[in-house]
Amino acid sequence: MRANHRKDLENIARQMILVHNADALIELVLRTIVSNLRVTHAGILIYDKTREEYVVKISKGRHGFKIPSGFVKVTKKNPLIEYFTNKKRNFPKDFILFTKIDEYIRNSKKSRATRAFLQDLKVNLSFHQARVCVPGFFGKDLIGILFLGDKVSKKRFSEGELGFLSVLASDVVMALKNAWLVEDISTQLANNKRLFLQMVATLASSIEAKDKYTMGHTERVMEYSLDIANKMKNEKNIVDWGKFLENLKISALLHDIGKIGIPESILNKPDSLTDEERKVIRQHPLIGVNILKNVDELDEALLGVKFHHERYDGKGYPSGLSGEDIPFIASVISLADAFDAMTTDRPYRKALSLREAVAEIKRNKGKQFAPDVVDAFLKAYISRDIEK
């Protein structure tokens, strides 16, 4: 019997390491206890540091008592908590057996306070229909208490089973601390990501404030880029597609950030640019990279910022890349950027019609634009009735 417990303990310990959601972890543990020890029900009281009280998270079992998660809360002064945390209470601390409480009461005839404490403890255990309670400590802190109902067979818990529960409770606490840490980190990252995306949006709007002819340009390029990329999901060997789309979104919003460093006289010039002015404006991808290069989260997105003016035939800038050497993220933004430029009034020309812009993109397939990106663009925008 003990060998089985040891094997099950090793199996659940391996599984617990991989579970980074506290509620899912507790669910796994209680399911294992109920099936392994064949008890009517099992639950766990977990310390909630924000409330400074212990809360029943989950109570499971096919046959026994079930307590809704969060329904029962007890304070640090509750007898069930004090039994394990009050050093003045001279009782075995590894676990509580309901059947032992009457024995403790009989042995405490000289102390009314102790008898009253044990009677209150018995009432608390009866409320949970708990026959065994096992503490889980992290250092000196009581993190949780496992409680179990009767065995379905009505047999007593063996020493091996109680030992199994003690070791399990210790492992559960370690796994819970790990899960809470991961959850805290995830929350912080989510908060930071929201702040980061707000910063991106602010930067993007600052570009448009300088270039009055591109109002709404970055938002449209982002939308077009996402539409094109989503038509290519099954063609590209990208492991984390969600992460790629996130980087694409950021890169599209920031692709023209370098225009902050370009004189407004050039950006808003109503006539064609001179060769010298064209050289200046062609610096904006590299200016953008210099502005953003120290932000670690932007490593992937910077590829779109830097290379969105490269051409498939190698005649683009700033590096003269060609073909598959151009990062995919940049190829997508390049087409989206060009399409929006074609269909928007600019200082030096009127907007093309949608039909004319699509025809221009088709003509430049394999020249300015990557062929597969053009195909994806056509799939995305024919569905928007562009060619009708």
DSSP conformation letters of 192-204: HHHHHHHHHHHHH
CA 150 – CA 170 distance, rounded (Å) = 22
- pLDDT tops 50 at residue 98: yes
CB atoms within 10 A of CB 155: 10
| Residue 334: closest CA among 257, 268, 255 | 255
| Residue 381: closest CA among 354, 363, 356 | 354
Region 356-385 average pLDDT: 90
CATH 1.10.3210.10 domain position(s) in the chain = 195-382
> Omega into 318 within 30° of 0, i.e. cis?
yes
Give residue 19's pLDDT.
63
Q: Which tens digits make up the pLDDT trace of 159-215?
A: 888 888 888 888 788 777 767 766 775 666 566 767 666 766 676 666 666 665 566
Looking at domain 2-182, which of 3.30.450.40, 3.90.850.10, 3.40.50.970, 3.40.50.300 is its CATH number? 3.30.450.40
Q: Which tens digits make up the pLDDT trace of 326-354?
A: 999 999 999 999 999 999 877 667 889 98
Q: Which tens digits make up the pLDDT trace of 62-91?
A: 655 555 555 578 888 999 999 999 888 777
Range from 3-17, 127-141, 215-229 carrying the lowest mean pLDDT: 3-17
CATH 3.30.450.40 domain position(s) in the chain = 2-182
CA 37 – CA 24 distance, rounded (Å) = 20
Q: What CATH class is the domain 195-382?
A: mainly alpha
